[in-house]
Amino acid sequence: MSTPVLRQIGWDLLKVTRGLRPCLRHAQTFEPLQSSSFCARSIRPPTAIRTASSKAVPTRLPNPRRLRPLPFLAAGGGIFTILFASLQPFDDPIRIAQDAASSSPSDSDGGLPRYRLAEVKQHGPKSERPWVIYEDKVYDITDWVPAHPGGEVILRAAGGSIEPYWDIFSIHKSPYVREILEQYVVGRVHPIDLKDGRPLRDHIEDPFVADPARDARMRMLTEKPCNAETPNDELAKSFLTPNEVFYVRNHMWVPVVDEAESDNHNITIELPDGESKVYSVQDLKARFQQHAVTAVLQCSGNRRNDMTRYAQKTNGLQWTVGAISCAKWEGVRLRDVLADAGLSLEDPGEDAKHVQFSGLEAYGASIPVAAALDPMGDVLLAFKMNDAVLPRDHGFPVRVIVPGHVAARCVKWVNKIVVSDEESNTTWQRRDYKCFGPNEAKQDWDKYKAIQVMPVTSAITRTRLKPSTNTESDARSGQSESAGDRVVQIEGYAYSGGGREIQRVDVSLDGGETWDQAQLIDDTNLERGSKVWCWKRWKYEVGLSTIGANKNPHGEAKATLVVKATDDAYNTQPESHKSIYNLRGNLATAWHRVDFDLAAAQHSCEEGKDQE
Ligand SMILES: Nc1nc2c(c(=O)[nH]1)N[C@H]1C(S)=C(S)[C@@H](COP(=O)(O)O)O[C@H]1N2
Ligand SMILES: [Mo]
């Protein structure tokens, strides 16, 4: 691990953690789980139950070292991620020995007091001494929090169990963090409130309870956190994706910001010299010129499922073609705000290399300072999306928009911006969004740069029989034209990052042997911004009989439709996913292939129906 990474984690933590280094080095991925892979370890129920006292008094006084008041809490997600990625159940020999030796709860665990869940609840995020529960143990995290940048995020769980929070992250077993936590143990959950060694389910707060409702048309991959792609039908239907069906990619819960209070939401801006300035949303709106920019957001995992299908297994959410959408964003220019905060745009200085963004929940990422300050870069702090107030799922009340870059940098619910000589210390900056070679199974995290500007990609989103001119009379008479006369309409999108415009979209009806050009749809009247930050919608129309001439080599009534795009730098898409395979399935931009079922199409012609 590099020195900068260690530095940002904080020497403080390293001193405490001893063995954390190997734990970090082996951490693989922090994608959310599709389902909880938490395996409950059964803990032998105590034979006797001590009567619940309304006010349990710890038999052991907390270490005076822990009695510091809460100092200012720094933002950032690094430690949180590491903490939760590492807090996994494991067989703790000491613990098992303790359990085995205990005969009654009062004298088990070396006299650890038992607490009712209601008592733990009093030690919530705002209390003087926040506590959390892990398995059946109670920890006082008062001291933990200020010691670690980003540590305050654990406060979200204070007063209850932290289990729902690490379910969010994928598994990495490590005893080290448990060791750290052990220093903060103050008691155990009272057996009355335990079931199978865990706090009663209905007492565990669901961090996602306040998440907004989602449109039923969305293709939901995971609900908690919400990861949902834009349905195919909606993708190329309109140039601007309606807010309700704009894809959602949340790593955690949606932070709650009271609408009435949203103008008072603050963003702290910190410059390399340590100076910081606080801007409320109201300040930003009132003091800076507002700009509208039309830009695509695309997840680096868009089309990951194709890579899995055509190469091999990839880790992460199995997006198809809908982790991309386009919207008109309105807000203020980040460069204007940074200048106001005191950063020299002409000469930002040696220490100004990256601009880091943190969101209210814990997420964070950064972009190079050149991207942030580029007068043609259109980087925004946006309050509006498609003329509406920014929806909660998309960052209400304010998010970062970095046009042409991977959407992972467009931090939602942004509350802190730091100009630094280092990248953001989060896993989303330093690990998750990188591409290794197809053969590089071992990922040396510092070897490659984080994904920023996006490469060119394209996809077929819909293939259907075009309604024929006399459809109505056909339907009435129950007749249909001969299959050869029907027109198949193929639709899709093409997009390239960095403000590069799509030049050409090539379509093949025979798996990539022969090609023709698709018709690019002119949406330029809707484009706003210094460069082309948008996708190009395209369509291609062809007679069904033409596709029929391209039965696949096995003689099946299937044709393979293929699309690839070329941008204005003449970058084009690679042919195969195998050639760009990476374990994380990032940037799956190979030619997009779709099987076209001729038999089904012909059948629906005979039925006089139009294929959707
Ligand atoms: N605060 C915050 N910002 C975030 C994320 C997040 O989980 N939390 N996800 C990022 C990723 S990986 C993507 S792809 C985009 C998705 O933006 P959207 O949900 O508005 O489509 O937001 C980015 N910004
Ligand atoms: Mo993403």
Task: Give the model's confidence band at 104: pLDDT under 50 very low, under 70 low, under 90 confident, else very high.
Answer: very low
* CA 580 – CA 574 distance, rounded (Å): 8
Return the minimum-mean-pLDDT range out of 80-94, 404-418, 538-552.
80-94
Other C-beta atoms closer than 10 Å to the C-beta of 523 total 16
Query: Which tops the pLDDT comparison, 180 or 357?
Result: 357
Ligand nearest to the CA of 414: 1
Going by C-alpha positions, the residue among 281, 280, 293, 210 that lies closest to residue 250 is 210
Among 31, 214, 235, 249, say which to mutate for ligand 1: greatest number of ligand atoms within 8 Å of CB: 249
Please state, rounded to an integer, the average pLDDT across all residues of the chain: 79
Among protein residues, the one with the nearest Cα to ligand 1's atom 24 is 411
Query: Is the CB of 451 within 6 Å of ligand 1?
Result: no
Report CA-CA distances (Å) from 274 to 343, 386, 487, 554: 11, 36, 64, 67
* pLDDT tens string 532-590: 999 999 999 999 988 877 666 666 778 999 999 999 999 999 999 999 999 999 999 99
Which domains are assigned to the chain? Answer: 1-46+59-106 (no CATH), 116-206 (3.10.120.10), 219-432 (3.90.420.10), 457-606 (2.60.40.650)
* CA 455 – CA 461 distance, rounded (Å): 19
Residue 49: partners with Cβ closer than 8 Å, 6 or more residues away: 105, 190, 191, 192
| CA 251 – ligand 2 centroid, Å | 9
| CA 78 – ligand 2 centroid, Å | 17
Among 363, 396, 399, 454, say which to mutate for ligand 1: greatest number of ligand atoms within 8 Å of CB: 363
Determine the residue type at 328: K
Among protein residues, the one with the nearest Cα to ligand 1's atom 20 is 394
Among protein residues, the one with the nearest Cα to ligand 1's atom 11 is 408
Query: Is the CB of 359 within 6 Å of ligand 1?
Result: yes
Q: Is the pLDDT of residue 359 over 80?
A: yes
Query: Is the CB of 540 within 6 Å of ligand 1?
Result: no
Position 236 scores a pLDDT of 84
Q: Is the pLDDT of residue 57 over 60?
A: no
Q: Is the pLDDT of residue 86 over 90?
A: no
* pLDDT tens string 147-172: 665 566 677 788 888 877 765 543 33
Which phi and psi (to 5°) does residue 280 adopt?
-85, 160
- Catalytic site positions: 148, 172, 249, 299, 433
Report CA-CA distances (Å) from 348 to 294, 333, 342, 386: 28, 17, 9, 33
Query: Is the CB of 296 within 6 Å of ligand 1?
Result: no
Position 148 scores a pLDDT of 60
Ligand nearest to the CA of 295: 1
Residue 11: partners with Cβ closer than 8 Å, 6 or more residues away: none
| CA 497 – ligand 1 centroid, Å | 17
Position 485 scores a pLDDT of 61
* CA 384 – CA 398 distance, rounded (Å): 8
Provide the angle, in degrees to the nearest 10, between the axes of the packed helices 175-182 and 78-86. Answer: 100
